[in-house]
Structure 1
Amino acid sequence: MISEQAPSGAPLHLPPGGLMDRFGRRITYLRLSITDRCDFRCTYCMAEEMTFLPHGAVLSLEEALRLVRIFVSLGVTKVRITGGEPLVRRNALWLLQEIGRLQGLKELVLTTNGSQLARHAADLRRAGVSRLNISLDTLRPERFRTITRIGDLAKVLDGVEAALAAGFSRIRLNAVMQQGVNDDELGDLLAYAVARNIDLALIEEMPLGDTGHDRSATFLSSDAARARLAERFELIPTLENSGGPARYWRVGGSDSRVGFISPHSHNFCDTCNRVRISAQGTLYPCLGDDGAIPLLPLLRAHPHDDAPLGAAIATGMGLKAQGHDFTAAMATPKIVRFMSSTGG
């Protein structure tokens, strides 16, 4: 039974200038995972056989809401709900509705694999979700099944259409680029996006977790991908951004953009404005570093006092690394946790 309101103590005072790390970067963006579970097993994200967290080790939805409230009170203006696959979490819609009502929050967004969108898209829009990022690495059903191990492409494509019908004005497809896996489809993925007036982000694969395949053999750089696309599309440089790491190019003759997320070839750490909280309630100030602050014990030890949580979050800002080196870690991942555990 979900309560109407999560407990919280006296309001926290916004620090001068908002949340800042020790390098002067202002933190305005929280990515919160509400589950480590997923109905896919993507080869770049998970091992084929996964052990998931017991339910008692995962944030309750009330605890997740309380954390978001605290971060918003400390100056965060954008929240992205992630997983795993967030829409497999029971009552996820309740959490989104409650977050969507928070004063001071400017943007609530969701990352999803699209498998559940056909039945949830309209409700998500009504809940206040303003933008969707939908993972889509291929348009070929057999290849989709190979990459996801168990996924059904038709469900995802139906989900994209449902999101469009629900009135989402900004939808972005996310594709992880892999040489010899889906690099021959990048142009087709962009054409699919352009036909629907939506955006596409092409992501360099990150060395997180032991997924059982050689990432160095499948790595494709953003520069190489952009050069291939430029043979088929007019790509116009733009300074537009969505508040995250993607660097965008306008696609000539359309309303669509193609973005490149390039943790290897064009490190974006100098402008990083985000932190992550895993489904286990652990604050990770940097995706590429193991520095972390466990917040779940504090949530449960101080159910009516937010001050200890605020202090822990402030400590976490001091742990945020200046940058990562994913390229050096490609052969032997420095970070052993899976992306599905940290939050996509």
Structure 2
Amino acid sequence: MQELQDRFGRRFHYLRLSITDACNFKCQYCLPNGYKPDGKPRFLNLDEIRRVLSAFAQVGTRKVRITGGEPTLRKDFESVLELVAATPGVERIATTTNGYRLAEHAEAWHRAGLRQVNVSVDSLDPKRFAQITGDSRFHQVMQGIDRALEVGYDKVKMNVVLLKELNGDQLPLFLDYLRDHPVDLRFIELMETGLHHDYFQQHHLSGAVIQAQLLKEGWRLDPRGADDGPALNYSHPDYAGRIGLIMPYSKDFCASCNRLRVSAIGKLHLCLFTEAGIELRDLLGADAQQEELVARLHAALGQKEATHYLQEGNSGATPHLASIGG
């Protein structure tokens, strides 16, 4: 079966599959007023998820990341992991989580097939963490990261959304942590979404500020791997962990795009921004529709743009990042 490829020659072997847009944290940059469902949401069920996974695997998907909202809020989260692990062709299973259940379930999720976990930790100061996330479970989240390291996950990453006046001055705290912890810390530039223009204007901080500090302190850019996404990864011989920078406003950021997204209600998103999604759910009701589903995926790639146009001030159709899994 032909792999997914767009008209710019980019190949897509990484699927970010959202299984819920609900979240129990109230992060300022995403859901500052908490999750508010639009009616009674009907998220993809296990059979629909299985059919999505099968179709994407047929067209070259090798890595699947389960996202939300907070994906571990689903009672069948472990069953979802088992579905991904049982999908022929999928080689790597990851998730992005706020980490509140990680300490308790890290071992069981690993047994189910999960191998990479990204935990959102926007500050290593408990008070600042609570201010940004609207939740006071900092120590519980950090215990989860420790447990994931103990269990032996292939990769443990910490995601930090850069926020001027809130955590942009906390690089020394993060560096102290990385000296002895073999995690990948990723600083992510705040991205403007449809509902957060004023917040973006107040708190956006360029990753170039962190980049300059790292280079000054002897950190060096790692060679880019064949399957790497847009992150720039830096290492230092005196530190157990690495630092990655995700700077979506930088030149040519989209040139290495290798991922697609499916929302929790079954829409294909060719980009985190720019469009409202392409319906897939009408083809997820029966195994007999797989051929038509695969054909729709190939046709959709013809619509993918060269860039997200964020650098031109276009925040696109995404209301907030939880709506399609970040």
Bin of the TM-score, shorter chain as denominator length:
over 0.9
Counterpart in the other structure of 2:281: 296
- Post-superposition offset of 1:213: 4.2
Of 26-35 and 41-50, deviating more is 41-50
Change (3 A) 1:76 1:214: same
Runs of 4+ in structure 1 deviating by more than 6 angstroms, as ranges, are none
**Residue identity matched to 2:308:** H
CA distance in 1, matches of 2:136, 2:42: 27
Counterpart in the other structure of 1:108: 93
Q: Is the 8 A contact 2:119 2:158 kept in 1?
A: yes
Counterpart in the other structure of 2:297: 313
Counterpart in the other structure of 1:126: 111
Counterpart in the other structure of 1:30: 15
CA distance in 2, matches of 1:55, 1:130: 32
The alignment's C-alpha RMSD in Å is 1.9
Write the deviation string for residues 146-195 of structure 1: whole angstroms up to 9, x where unpaired.
Answer: 11113421111111111111111321111000111101112312321332
- Post-superposition offset of 1:56: 5.2
CA distance in 2, matches of 1:113, 1:195: 22
Write the deviation string for residues 1-39 of structure 1: whole angstroms up to 9, x where unpaired.
Answer: xxxxxxxxxxxxx11xx1111211111110001110111
Identical aligned pairs, as a percentage?
Answer: 34
Q: Is the 8 A contact 1:187 1:229 kept in 2?
A: no
Consecutive unaligned residues in structure 1, runs of 5 or more: 1-13
Residues 1:343 and 2:325 aligned together: yes
Q: How many residues get paired?
A: 325
Write the deviation string for residues 65-101 of structure 1: whole angstroms up to 9, x where unpaired.
Answer: 2201110111111111111111111111011012112
**Residue identity matched to 2:7:** R
SS in structure 1 of the partner of residue 284 of structure 2:
helix
Of 203-212 and 126-135, deviating more is 203-212
Q: Is the 8 A contact 1:283 1:295 kept in 2?
A: yes
**Residue identity matched to 1:126:** R
Within 5 Å, give how 1:122-201 maps onto structure 2: 122-201=107-186
TM-score using structure 1 length: 0.89
Q: Is the 8 A contact 1:198 1:255 kept in 2?
A: yes
Counterpart in the other structure of 1:276: 261
Q: Is the 8 A contact 1:31 1:81 kept in 2?
A: yes
Q: Is the 8 A contact 2:275 2:318 kept in 1?
A: no
Change (3 A) 1:54 1:299: farther
Q: Is the 8 A contact 2:181 2:240 kept in 1?
A: no
Q: Is the 8 A contact 1:33 1:343 kept in 2?
A: yes
- Post-superposition offset of 1:315: 1.9
SS in structure 2 of the partner of residue 305 of structure 1:
helix
Q: Is the 8 A contact 1:190 1:258 kept in 2?
A: no
TM-score using structure 2 length: 0.93
Within 5 Å, give how 1:7-18 maps onto structure 2: 14-15=1-2, 18=3
- Post-superposition offset of 1:325: 2.1
Change (3 A) 1:136 1:76: same
Q: 1:46 aligns with which of 27, 31, 53?
A: 31
Change (3 A) 1:327 1:274: same
Write the deviation string for residues 102-133 of structure 1: whole angstroms up to 9, x where unpaired.
Answer: 22112111111111101111011111111111
SS in structure 2 of the partner of residue 90 of structure 1:
coil
- Post-superposition offset of 1:49: 4.5
Residues 1:19 and 2:13 aligned together: no
Consecutive unaligned residues in structure 2, runs of 5 or more: none
- Post-superposition offset of 1:230: 4.1
